[in-house]
């Protein structure tokens, strides 16, 4: 795709900083409020630029979660070319950087879009059901964390303190814990309802959970993080995303061991780890594989579990690609 205008945007909660470049020439910088009204006013200024057209412009920004929403909605209505990039990717491509402010960051993002224009990856909005599913899973995670925050100290006090001392604390927290359990149940029911009512989600969910070890929570997270297997469509990509794929470091005569990268979605990695533990217990093939590697070949247990995680990913994508249960 050929682009003439490269608009870099530094996104924060309250403000948006735009750096507008035509080719590699910076035309102007503009700071506005992060509101739909301010964004629409900026768009009116932008379209008055000589030779500007939506097809020949790309808007590049870092992925900052919900703070992007107003800008993404406004640009999507205009059918603009949107490039969402990870902050670490832009930072590492900038080389040695000294100094930092919103204006400079916007210019660096615009320059990144121009420099890497041949590798542009345009953003497509997720379906509304996936957005709902994402919000519900985040809410569910917060409820679990709140429950843990209350329950863990009570359990520790029960071990090290007298019963009379902790009795009042347990009584005070009991109603809150019951309410959290009720909210968790409502969140789970809402997630199940969304998946059941949407034919495509229901189909994919059934395929993913047919793999031994993959439960409801893990399957839901896989559907969200792959965007229904649209954004991530190969097992190799997902293994890298989840921090399962090992990478070898070599330099000259130095030959290092293959190690997984710390740049990964740690939540997905944890869920896959738990799924691998369950699969080793209940899937005969994986159980034999694990025992052979650990007991006979004396391989490191965590390395073997990581290999099992990779096998689960391969099985999930095979089921989806062939539209068949495992």
pLDDT at residue number 323: 95
pLDDT at residue number 35: 95
The ranges of the chain with pLDDT < 50 are: none
Q: DSSP string of 196-232?
A: HHSHHHHHHHHHHHTSTT--HHHHHHHHHHTTTTTS-
The percentage of the chain sitting over the pLDDT mark of 70, rounded to a whole number, equals 96
- pTM for the structure as a whole: 0.85
- The continuous run of DSSP H or E covering 260 comes out as strand 254-260
Q: What is the CATH number of domain 5-119?
A: 3.30.420.10
Q: What is the pLDDT of residues 72-89, one digit of tens each?
A: 999 999 999 999 988 888
Determine the Cα–Cα distance for residues 54 and 149; give it in Å rounded to an integer: 49
pLDDT at residue number 222: 97
pLDDT at residue number 168: 76
pLDDT at residue number 159: 72
pLDDT at residue number 251: 67
């Amino acid at each position: 795709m050929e682009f003439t205008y490269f608009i870099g945007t530094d996104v924060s909660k309250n403000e948006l900083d735009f750096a507008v470049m035509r080719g590699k020439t910076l035309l102007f910088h503009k700071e506005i409020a992060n509101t739909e009204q301010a964004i629409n006013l900026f768009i009116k200024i932008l379209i008055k630029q000589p030779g500007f057209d939506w097809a020949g412009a790309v808007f590049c920004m870092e992925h900052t979660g919900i703070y992007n929403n107003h800008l993404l909605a406004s640009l999507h209505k205009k059918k603009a070319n949107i490039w969402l990039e990870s902050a670490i990717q832009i930072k590492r491509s900038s080389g040695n950087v000294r100094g930092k402010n919103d204006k400079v960051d916007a210019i660096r993002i615009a320059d990144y879009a121009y420099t890497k224009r041949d590798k542009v990856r345009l953003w497509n909005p997720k379906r509304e059901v996936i957005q709902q599913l994402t919000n519900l899973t985040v809410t569910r995670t917060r409820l679990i964390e709140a429950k843990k925050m209350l329950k863990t100290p009570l359990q520790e006090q029960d071990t090290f303190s007298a019963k009379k001392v902790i009795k009042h604390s347990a009584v005070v927290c009991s109603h809150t814990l019951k309410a959290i359990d009720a909210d968790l149940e409502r969140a789970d029911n809402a997630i199940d309802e969304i998946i059941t009512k949407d034919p495509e989600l229901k189909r994919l969910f059934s395929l993913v959970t047919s793999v031994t070890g993959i439960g409801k929570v893990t399957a839901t997270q896989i559907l969200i993080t792959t965007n229904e297997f649209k954004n991530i469509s190969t097992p190799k990509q997902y293994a890298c995303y989840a921090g399962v794929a090992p990478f070898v470091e070599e330099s000259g005569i130095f030959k290092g061991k293959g190690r997984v990268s710390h740049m990964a979605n740690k939540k997905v990695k944890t869920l896959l780890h738990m799924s691998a533990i369950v699969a080793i217990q209940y899937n005969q093939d994986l159980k034999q594989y694990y025992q052979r590697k650990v007991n006979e070949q004396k391989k490191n247990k965590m390395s073997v579990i990581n290999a099992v995680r990779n096998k689960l990913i391969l099985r999930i994508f095979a089921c989806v690609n062939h539209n068949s249960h495992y």
